[in-house]
Amino acid sequence: MEAIIQASPAAIMLLDPDGTVRLWNPAAERMLGWTAEEVTGKVLPAVPPEHWDAFRHSLERATRGTVLDGAHLAGRRRDGSAVQLAVWTGRVHPANGPPQCLSMMVDITERQRGEAAQRFLAEAGGVLAGSLEEEETLERVAHLAVPAYAETCGVFLEDESGGVRCVATAGGGEPGEVPPPGLAVVMRVIQSGRPETRSGLSDGDPTSARAGGTFAYLCVPLQVRGHTLGALTFVTSKRAYDAQDLALAQELARRAALALDNASLYRDARQAIRLREEFLSIASHELKTPISALVLQVQSLMAGLARSGAQFDPERLRRGLERVDRQVKRQTLLVNDLLDVSRLSAGKLELVLVPLELGALVREVAERFEPEFARSGTPLELSLAPEVRGQWDRLRLDQVLTNLMSNALKYGRGNPVRVELDVVEGRARLRVKDGGIGIAREHLPRLFHRFERAVSERNYGGFGLGLWIARQIVEAMGGYIEVDSVLGEGSTFRVELPHG
Ligand code: ADP
């Protein structure tokens, strides 16, 4: 029998009821690391002290005749690493001695880890799918891996300016504190799109927030649709990380990135719907106001004519028709803006480039605005360099100027508006400055987007389209448009166009 045991590919040992090893085959040596010489005659070293009582108890049961069928045992190998064993134990009676226990062991560590990983990922999938709110998703991601796979987990995201922020952590650390392994590692991973790991616990990282401690870490990129959103970090001081842990972390990161992407697409879609709804309510209001004024005006003129016939005061008729004309023009502008939205959104902006002297165009638009500026008591100053020439689309530039000047008038609170034109580094530069309500810093980046507004519709009418249209036109001509503004002090819109 001993020869069969020695030749068996399965790990087999023979123990006394007190756990002393009597036989230890080469397969057991390969599985657990101790040689037969090292363990024979000694108490089985593969059972850690905390499991000894349970192990001895099972040996006693086996000695009494119970066959232990694939019992699980959390053991350790000679190198100290953890091992999960399934153990079959039965009693044997040597001819000349007390009963002994014959055990066959199977290493189920990998199988158990694989099963645990599958369970973990299945659970993670459910947790991640449970919310479409970005912040909640981030928190959930951070908490998923703690404590099963890490003591601390951090979620890092890249912001618009290319900086990296820690947006969620789990498993300790002060709020706002960057968990180990620190920002430098995270930035490298985000830039390269490749994971970084320190598998062992041996060396402390002096640059980390836990300076002096020893820990293993995994840092994996959060990637979706070929783009790196950020990174996840997993840190533990309890064990080493291996290739399987890395694969699991990468799979978790892939699912988390997908969930984050869904959350942000959902947020964008909701924002777009909100803007459209707001726009529809503003648009109907805006279109109705001039029509109501128009109807009143026409009715009053018709009533006057009916009363007085040929005696109707021509001056009154002229003033009335002027007002009608103004309302019709306003209505036309609004409708044109609406037409532009569909045209520009479909990418169908066709430019008609002609040689143009920009100063002349500015003067022309300013003249058109004169009566409106005069009516609201807003002074208008022009400072125009001569001979600023280029190949531009005349009607479209007129539209840009009209938008900027009507905004300066609308939001200018009656303070002087100044239009400046000069040439800077070969580019035509046009500035429209007002001393009006200004724009809060946080609104600046989105004003040139469609339907975006920084004022309430109750105080100021408008579609939130003028600046978006202006940007489309200016960019189509190879230029750009920007704004500088201080809330409460005024705004300067600047357009630069390739000159000559
Ligand atoms: P609208 O004026 O129709 O709302 P615009 O696209 O022309 O749309 O402008 C977008 C937003 O930018 C406005 O709603 C307003 O909040 C802000 N804005 C534009 N011009 C000025 C300005 N000169 N001063 C202050 N705010 C401005």
Residue 217 sits in a domain whose CATH number is 3.30.450.40
Distance 158 CA to ligand 1 centre (A): 30
Atom of ligand 1 nearest to the CA of 465: 6
Three-class secondary structure of residue 248 per DSSP? helix
Pocket residues for ligand 1 (CB within 6 Å)?
Answer: 403, 407-408, 411, 434, 436-439, 447, 453-455, 462-468, 491
Q: Is residue 246 part of a domain?
A: yes
Q: How confident is the model over 293-348, as pLDDT tens digits?
A: 888 889 989 998 899 888 888 898 898 898 888 888 878 877 888 888 777 777 77
Question: Is there a single domain that holds both residue 456 and residue 488?
Answer: yes
Q: Is residue 296 part of a domain?
A: no
Structure tokens at 124: 């993670």
Sign of the Cα pseudo-torsion (143, 148, 153, 157, in order): negative
Q: Is residue 430 part of a domain?
A: yes
Question: Is there a single domain that holds both residue 177 and residue 201?
Answer: yes
Sign of the Cα pseudo-torsion (143, 144, 147, 151, in order): negative
275 vs 408: which has the higher pLDDT:
408
Three-class secondary structure of residue 391 per DSSP? strand
Question: Is there a single domain that holds both residue 362 and residue 443?
Answer: yes
In angstroms, rounded to a whole number, what is the distance separating the alpha carbons of residues 161 and 163? 6
pLDDT (0 to 100) of residue 202: 52
Please name the residue whose Cα sits nearest to atom 19 of ligand 1. 407
Question: Is there a single domain that holds both residue 118 and residue 245?
Answer: yes
Question: Is there a single domain that holds both residue 89 and residue 222?
Answer: no
Distance 59 CA to ligand 1 centre (A): 83
Estimate to the nearest angstrom the gap between the alpha carbon of 355 and the chain centroid.
45
pTM of the entire predicted model: 0.59
Q: Is residue 279 part of a domain?
A: no
Domain of 87: which CATH number? 3.30.450.20
Question: Is there a single domain that holds both residue 37 and residue 88?
Answer: yes
Q: How confident is the model over 146-170, as pLDDT tens digits?
A: 888 899 999 999 988 888 988 888 8
Distance 332 CA to ligand 1 centre (A): 19
Question: Is there a single domain that holds both residue 57 and residue 196?
Answer: no
Reported as a pLDDT band with limits 50, 70 and 90, residue 367 is: very high
Number of structural domains (the chain) is 3
Give 71-105 as a DSSP string.
EEEEEE-TTS-EEEEEEEEEEE--TTS--EEEEEE
Distance 283 CA to ligand 1 centre (A): 15
CB-based contacts of 32, cutoff 8 Å, min separation 6: 11, 46, 75, 77, 78, 83, 105
Residue that finishes a domain, picked among 84, 107, 130: 107
Q: Is residue 307 part of a domain?
A: no
Percentages (nearest 5) of helix, strand, coil residues in the chain: 45, 25, 30
Please name the residue whose Cα sits nearest to atom 23 of ligand 1. 408
Residue that finishes a domain, picked among 77, 107, 137: 107
Which amino acid is residue 345, in one-letter code? Answer: S
Question: Is there a single domain that holds both residue 168 and residue 55?
Answer: no
Q: Is residue 329 part of a domain?
A: no
Atom of ligand 1 nearest to the CA of 436: 24
Please name the residue whose Cα sits nearest to atom 20 of ligand 1. 407
Residue that finishes a domain, picked among 228, 247, 269: 269
Distance 374 CA to ligand 1 centre (A): 21
Question: Is there a single domain that holds both residue 174 and residue 198?
Answer: yes
In angstroms, rounded to a whole number, what is the distance separating the alpha carbons of residues 205 and 212? 6
Q: How confident is the model over 402-445, as pLDDT tens digits?
A: 999 999 999 999 999 999 999 998 899 999 999 999 999 989 98
Distance 448 CA to ligand 1 centre (A): 9
Distance 218 CA to ligand 1 centre (A): 48
**Residue 448: DSSP 8-state:** T
- Does the structure show a pLDDT above 60 at 396? yes
Q: Is residue 406 part of a domain?
A: yes
Question: Is there a single domain that holds both residue 119 and residue 245?
Answer: yes
Q: Which domain holds residue 444?
A: 353-498
Domain of 386: which CATH number? 3.30.565.10
The preferred substitution site among 467, 484, 494 for testing ligand 1, maximizing ligand atoms within 8 Å of CB, is: 467
Distance 443 CA to ligand 1 centre (A): 10
Question: Is there a single domain that holds both residue 188 and residue 245?
Answer: yes
Reported as a pLDDT band with limits 50, 70 and 90, residue 208 is: very low
Distance 467 CA to ligand 1 centre (A): 7
Atom of ligand 1 nearest to the CA of 437: 25
In angstroms, rounded to a whole number, what is the distance separating the alpha carbons of residues 256 and 20? 50
Q: Is residue 335 part of a domain?
A: no
Atom of ligand 1 nearest to the CA of 462: 3
The preferred substitution site among 453, 468, 485, 491 for testing ligand 1, maximizing ligand atoms within 8 Å of CB, is: 453
Please name the residue whose Cα sits nearest to atom 25 of ligand 1. 438
Q: How confident is the model over 233-257, as pLDDT tens digits?
A: 999 988 888 888 999 999 999 998 9
Question: Is there a single domain that holds both residue 84 and residue 129?
Answer: no
